[in-house]
Amino acid sequence: MLFLIGLFGAGSLIITEFTTGDGCPKFGAVPACLIILICFILPSISHLLKKWNLIYFTFTGIATLIALVASVMQFIGNSECPKTDSGIPMCYISLLIFTSLIILKKIQLNYLNNK
């Protein structure tokens, strides 16, 4: 469910970015929302196939760091994250989702190892 929420959110930002050119902040010439979308796609594939945990944790970790930096910058006023219709910065939501994905995967792996 978290992957679907994230894929939908990042996907909608990508559409806005490609249609208006102003959907999300950029790292150089690369839109941050494209990086986040990739960080949702690859771990979701890893999760569905039940393999490549290194890929899962690498990409969720990268996205968590990006979301953490963006959230801190949003909080202190040095940057502006895209917002939901209700005004919540999406970087806060991304941080929550990716942190949850890492925690849940760790719980799942511990459960499977203790089985």
Indicate the residue type of 109.
L
Region 55-77: mean pLDDT is: 93
Q: What residues does each domain of the chain span?
A: 2-113
Residue 93 predicted with pLDDT over 80:
yes
Tokens of 28: 């150089």
- First CA to last CA distance, the chain: 24
Indicate the residue type of 26.
K
**Which runs of consecutive H residues, i.e. helices, occur in the chain?**
2-20, 32-49, 53-76, 90-113
Evaluate if pTM is beyond 0.85.
no
**Interval 22-42: pLDDT, tens:** 777 777 888 888 888 889 889
